Structure 1
């Protein structure tokens, strides 16, 4: 009996031992798995599922990549590099001194001074037409175009406009294989895919492609047309975060269908700014290139006055000469009225202060030009002015001016 009891006790001990040991092993395994999953913040049951892209997400990635590749294939051959050549004076060699040659004599050589991009948009007969930025070809003596296949072709400048910063070139059509298709820029939405194609830093990097989105529409960006340090005109531009670098100017900004939504023109650049590029909307491009093809310039309405911003005038002059309240700083002061101009015929006088046009406020020269260029030659507008401290209204019939205004002339 004692022997039987002893054997039962031994059996009970080993069952308890193995049961406890097995329970401990299971507990340790569960704990280890829980610790591992907690450390990765991944639920154990979903680890494999979460680390494997779903069929839908993989398909979305393929569609996105295909859209970019398709747009580039459709468009890239229409984007070219544009080279600006000018005569540059260079002094004679220092060794000329010992030959008795005057070192003040210089010779001019035709040199490459800058490169940008352009977009082929039309073939007509045996000629093709390219749009680029005015600042890409400004002051050029000669312009050449490097096609996507590397062929170099001499180009003719058909017309240019400093205010819109657009220009039209013409080349023989025999090397052209692709022309761009224009999109309706008024239908462009913020967040839409935007693909920039051009020649950043020059033709060495021609046909470079960067991708982003449309970051904003109708962005008002002041431009200095005459390089006097003052804004002459406010442009309404598309904003994109697609990388735009020097040399991209004049290149294409296209949508997912390879259609042109804008001509890349500028960017904001500083150590505190990233991804703020701008493009001239395609609808504005279509309008301006039509005018440049027809006349070689954009003929805009003019008042026929030279002006200053009121806030640039000294307080004493504002009060004693112009008859204004000392707190009045918004407006444009007429310094000179050109004979037989719209302003002269409409009764504008020297020292009148223009504060509005057709009841739209005018605070500075940029505002004045923006309002003025809303109208066509022959339109009648009403100027809101202050003369000797008195508010007045004058009616003017707008006449023509050249495409590039001189300093402070409107």
Structure 2
């Protein structure tokens, strides 16, 4: 590019803007890690019926819905988008994991591969409590599958790289980098049946946005350490206070355990106690004093309600404070669910709790499953 310049004698001279011809190795440990797994990260598109009705059948009265020219899916529109991770290729099929909330209610699922190819997805199984789902696709276009790391070996401060589709497939395969901020965080949410769900999560400051859900959180080796699931955008105490750098991912060890059950059975059958609960440390000092428990009891689970015809009925009562399960300390709802879900239907489970100042122990037979909760 030529530029005109005036010299001291007011003479116009021409100079050239130079572009450096120096080449260098522009590869980092992060870019190497991304290269390992990037082709296994996909966009997941959830289609549902358009309630407003924008199909040909609704726009033109002369064409009936039964017309052979109309596709059965003509009323479907994009309801939401998220991310997914292909973890297995088996013959003519490949399998990917995503979040349950990404595909919840989907009447059609499409997968956008890293190379831009779209393929049909079939839901194999989903689980509300872990917020995980498995989708099957054709393996024909699948070039790479991800490898899971051992999340129990993670250390706070190590590199964490998030890969996914923030704000949807328009920004597919976006990469952000941060660190593992904390381990074993309890993330509480509510499912479609109104049940409180507490999950164990990795906290990271790698930027996670809507659409990243179901995508990969990877280590510096390009191994998946977690499946991105949520973020905190505002303070629980002050909705006007925005929060940055607080994203959460489901640990890879939990993911591996759940997806195997989803592949085999389509669901995860877990035992249920049949109680509503709240963390003791979330109560005010006034509320805690009304429980009349010993002063040294500072953590545990407060029973808010007991459902009839469930295993806890007749064993636990409202305002009991659970402190141990099978001899192991219970500090919060995540601890309780983790210990409970290690059991199978039909097992006996020992619960220690305070009823006022009195410490009690009960053995409860786990005869009901989480599926029974929705029927209460």
Which TM bucket (shorter chain)? 0.7 to 0.9
Q: Contact 1:250 / 1:265 at 8 angstroms: preserved in 2?
A: yes
TM-score by length of 2: 0.74
Residue aligning to 2:162: 196
Measure, in 1, the Cα distance between the counterparts of 2:104 and 2:34: 29
TM-score by length of 1: 0.68
Residue 348 in structure 1 maps to residue 348 in structure 2: no
Which consecutive unaligned segments of at least 5 residues does structure 1 have? 1-60, 100-106
Measure, in 1, the Cα distance between the counterparts of 2:198 and 2:148: 24
Residue 248 in structure 1 maps to residue 216 in structure 2: no
Q: Contact 1:88 / 1:108 at 8 angstroms: preserved in 2?
A: no
Residue 239 in structure 1 maps to residue 207 in structure 2: no
Residue aligning to 1:283: 253
The correspondence for 1:124, drawn from 78, 85, 90, is: 90
The correspondence for 1:89, drawn from 48, 51, 65, is: 51
Measure, in 1, the Cα distance between the counterparts of 2:365 and 2:256: 27
Q: Contact 1:84 / 1:115 at 8 angstroms: preserved in 2?
A: yes
Residue aligning to 1:274: 244
Cα distance change on mapping 1:296 and 1:343 into 2, 3 Å: same
Measure, in 2, the Cα distance between the counterparts of 1:327 and 1:134: 41
Q: Contact 2:92 / 2:140 at 8 angstroms: preserved in 1?
A: yes
Residue aligning to 1:302: 272
Residue aligning to 2:101: 135
Instruction: For 1:395-410, list aligned pairs within 5 A.
Output: 395-402=363-370, 405-406=373-374
Measure, in 2, the Cα distance between the counterparts of 1:393 and 1:148: 54
Residue aligning to 1:212: 178
Q: Secondary structure at the residue paired with 1:90?
A: coil
Cα distance change on mapping 1:398 and 1:257 into 2, 3 Å: same
Measure, in 2, the Cα distance between the counterparts of 1:273 and 1:219: 17
For 1:338-381, what per-residue CA distance to the aligned partner results, in whole angstroms no more than 9, with x for missing partners?
1xx5446xx53776846344356768866654542243334321
Structure with a larger share of its residues in helix: 1
Cα distance change on mapping 1:366 and 1:67 into 2, 3 Å: closer
Following superposition, the deviation at residue 333 of structure 1 comes to 4.6
Alignment length (residue pairs): 321
Measure, in 2, the Cα distance between the counterparts of 1:327 and 1:255: 44
Q: Contact 2:186 / 2:334 at 8 angstroms: preserved in 1?
A: no
Measure, in 2, the Cα distance between the counterparts of 1:165 and 1:84: 16
Which consecutive unaligned segments of at least 5 residues does structure 2 have? 1-23, 62-72, 235-240
Q: Contact 2:323 / 2:354 at 8 angstroms: preserved in 1?
A: no
Instruction: For 1:370-409, list aligned pairs within 5 A.
Output: 370-384=338-352, 392-402=360-370, 405-406=373-374
Residue aligning to 1:223: 189
Measure, in 2, the Cα distance between the counterparts of 1:362 and 1:72: 38
